[in-house]
Structure 1
Amino acid sequence: MRFVPLIICLAAISLAAPTQFLNDAYDWTDELAEFYGKVSQYINTARHSIRVPGACEASKIALPSHASGMTGPSGLKPRYVALGRGTQNYTCADSTSTSTPVAVGAVARLYNATCIAANYPDLLAKLPDLAYRIPLPTNEYASFPPANLVLMGHHFFTDAIPEFNLNTTPKKHNGIVMTKKGGAIDAPPGAVSGQYGAVPWLYLTSTDGTVGNYKSVYRVNTAAGSPPKTCEGMPPAFQIQYAANYYFFGE
């Protein structure tokens, strides 16, 4: 019998929090207070009840209910969940109100949140809201607060194709997912909007070039990332900070 590894991680998060705040690593907010409050509750519960191995079992993962508006992963199994933190990228033909921003892709780091997704979906849903407010670590391979998540891979576009490269290091190869858009729904009311709004939730299907048994990817729990309605006063190319959770399904 042993404590769930994730609980040890959560304990580290909770203990690290005061130091982070004292060092002004990021601002204290109501959202952070609520997040750490839930972490403390789970740690207390784990001390008395959760002592079973296998806490990171992906079969326990389920998409958030709002995602029911998109095509479901029928017959597919959840493989991983990642917190994505980066930018949505746009261009403008000119800086007038008659032009509208054009999406030209995204660049984000992907942090492994599979264990949290399997056991604490309420915490997972809050992570993008917090992550959007926190700069990426200077060291690319450093863990990402406030949940000390380890780097899992990168999201970017290759020849206008959304790519998820999950091969982080020579010892951590989880595959590559090349995708195309299969559907989208608006972010739910209450999503963290940033300056211009939260980007939609997406359903992506895998395409040629995928390495591994991946069939679909879902972008959910989005925070910020949308552009202004027009290009008035905007440069020819610009980036908008965002965060989201990405669910990977396969056979």
Structure 2
Amino acid sequence: MRFPATFTALASHVHNSPRAAAPEDDSDDAVQTAVPDSDIVDEEDNDDNEDEEDNNEDSSTSVFNTATLSVETILGIPTATETHSSLPSSTDAEHFSSNPSNASKAYYAWIAAPVFFVVLLGIIGSWEFFFFQRRKKHAKPTATTTPSAVHLLVTFLAALLVSHVHARAVTLQSRFPPSFNRTPKEEPALPVSGVSPELPAVPEGLVLKRIVLGHGYQNYTCSGEGATAEATGALAVLYDAMALYPGQSPFSVSLEQFLGLTGPALLQTAVPLATAPNTRVDQSAEGASADPFPKAPVAPLDLSAAGVQPPLPYVGVHFFDAQKVPRFELTNGEKLLAAKLASQPAPSNATAGPNGEPAAPWLYIGDVGGSVCLTAGYRVETAGGTPHTCSGAGDDSSVYTAYYFLYGPPK
């Protein structure tokens, strides 16, 4: 008689695991053979059966020991290392907003474990009922229909295995903040500068689609020495920062730390653009090249020096096109073609650039046509970005960072 197909497949999966492989010469028999194949149990076969049952007990124990090592693999639950290694890339999907989180997987496993337990016991019970009925029908009057030690051991090990799965799921769930596990996520609030007048409120009917951190250059031109620099555009690489906002993911930081990250990003990380040295008129001494954006795959933004882990994944670029229209183009196909609708000075305590350049103004921008899924945006929490003093005619660039809160209609 053989084990049910479900239990055999589970044991085979564990047996084939590279972490714990059983000996090849007897593993198949140990997993698949439960009782002799003969229909009538003779008393003279009892000694052989007892030896076979002892072997089965040892093999079943080995299967259980290896199975407990592979519970996460069987259920598809990430290990602690996998859970905290890095944020998923936004080039694959909209992480945290459209894909189940690792915490959710653990929570689902916590719910599914009792169901799995009941189903497994039902399968084992049906198998044993069928076997004992068949054995009772063909047994001699002196034969016993008492369940063998192997049957009892298999049932016990199955129950113990499922209990272990349930306990591991609860442990995994406990690694994540309760607020993230059980309470609905609130939409992040748009920062306010405290400078009057504030930027216009988010238009009614729009929802937050993205929070991205932009790192790059604000570009200017000088007509001559002592002239006022005029803005000519911007170039920036965009990184997904939504998961860091409080309450949005297991990687969230405090609101104070989140709002202050543009400063460390400006001063502690290199500009992620291809540059052309010695092409500017003042302290910057460099600017973006004619082909500025990095080639795929683009490295994430490492903010570990600011106490943030893991790095922020790349999600797109910001630039001004030939018609001087600011564009935000994301890797998932979303884009915003915009115009400046309102601005306000940055707070006085905003982070200055590496050469003392004050922070660029905060902006409210709106769609001018051609956008996809995005219709409005806000540039906030700026660091650096204003022009240098013009020392002559020519171009000027100033490194900057900022958060962009991007909005669009609900799906």
Q: Distance in 1 between matches of 2:371 and 2:266?
A: 28
Q: How does 1:28-39 map to 2 (within 5 A)?
A: none
1:64 aligns with 2:191: yes
Q: Distance in 1 between matches of 2:265 and 2:337?
A: 25
1:100 aligns with 2:258: no
Deviation at 1:145, TM superposition (A): 1.2
Residue 245 of structure 2: aligned partner: 117
1:157 aligns with 2:316: no
Deviation at 1:122, TM superposition (A): 2.5
1:73 aligns with 2:202: yes
Q: Distance in 2 between matches of 1:49 and 1:131?
A: 26
1:131 aligns with 2:295: no
The equivalent position to 1:142 in structure 2, one of 281, 294, 299, is: 299
Deviation at 1:101, TM superposition (A): 0.6
The answer to whether the 8 Å contact 2:387/2:396 transfers is no
Give the counterpart letter for 1:191 in structure 2.
A
Q: Distance in 2 between matches of 1:242 and 1:118?
A: 24
Deviation at 1:129, TM superposition (A): 0.4
1:201 aligns with 2:362: yes
Deviation at 1:50, TM superposition (A): 3.2
Distance 1:175 1:48, change over 3 A: closer
The answer to whether the 8 Å contact 1:56/1:114 transfers is no
Distance 1:135 1:155, change over 3 A: same
The equivalent position to 1:88 in structure 2, one of 218, 226, 251, is: 218
Q: Distance in 2 between matches of 1:56 and 1:126?
A: 25
Residue 161 of structure 2: aligned partner: none
Q: Distance in 1 between matches of 2:223 and 2:228?
A: 8
Give the counterpart letter for 2:198 in structure 1.
G
SS in 1 for 2:375: strand
Q: Could you report, residue by residue, the CA deviation over 1:118-169 in whole angstroms, capped at 9, with x for unpaired residues?
A: 5343332111101101104586511101040000100000121110001x2x
Q: Distance in 2 between matches of 1:48 and 1:248?
A: 27
The answer to whether the 8 Å contact 1:55/1:118 transfers is no
Q: Distance in 1 between matches of 2:245 and 2:180?
A: 17
The answer to whether the 8 Å contact 1:222/1:242 transfers is yes
Give the counterpart letter for 2:387 in structure 1.
P
SS in 1 for 2:363: strand
The answer to whether the 8 Å contact 1:84/1:246 transfers is yes
When normalised by structure 1's length, the TM-score is 0.72
Give the counterpart letter for 2:207 in structure 1.
K
Give the counterpart letter for 1:163 in structure 2.
R
Residue 108 of structure 2: aligned partner: none
Residue 24 of structure 1: aligned partner: none
Q: How does 1:163-174 map to 2 (within 5 A)?
A: 163-166=327-330, 168=331, 173-174=332-333
SS in 1 for 2:334: strand
Deviates further, 130-139 or 188-197: 130-139
Distance 1:117 1:206, change over 3 A: farther
Q: Distance in 2 between matches of 1:54 and 1:109?
A: 34
Give the counterpart letter for 1:90 in structure 2.
Y
Structure 1 segments of 4+ aligned residues over 3 angstroms from their partners: 46-57, 136-140
Give the counterpart letter for 2:339 in structure 1.
K
Q: Distance in 2 between matches of 1:54 and 1:80?
A: 23
Q: Distance in 2 between matches of 1:73 and 1:160?
A: 25
Give the counterpart letter for 2:302 in structure 1.
P
Deviates further, 65-74 or 151-160: 65-74
Runs of 5+ consecutive residues of structure 2 not aligned to the other structure? 1-76, 88-173, 248-252, 274-293
Deviation at 1:56, TM superposition (A): 10
Deviation at 1:211, TM superposition (A): 1.4
Q: Distance in 1 between matches of 2:241 and 2:328?
A: 15
The equivalent position to 1:215 in structure 2, one of 350, 375, 391, is: 375
Q: Distance in 2 between matches of 1:190 and 1:176?
A: 32
Deviation at 1:242, TM superposition (A): 0.3
CA RMSD of aligned residues (A): 2.9
Distance 1:198 1:54, change over 3 A: farther
Q: Distance in 1 between matches of 2:243 and 2:176?
A: 20
Give the counterpart letter for 1:198 in structure 2.
A
Higher helix share: 2
Percent of aligned pairs sharing the same letter: 29
How many aligned residue pairs are there?
Answer: 204
SS in 1 for 2:369: coil
Residue 177 of structure 1: aligned partner: 336
Distance 1:103 1:54, change over 3 A: farther
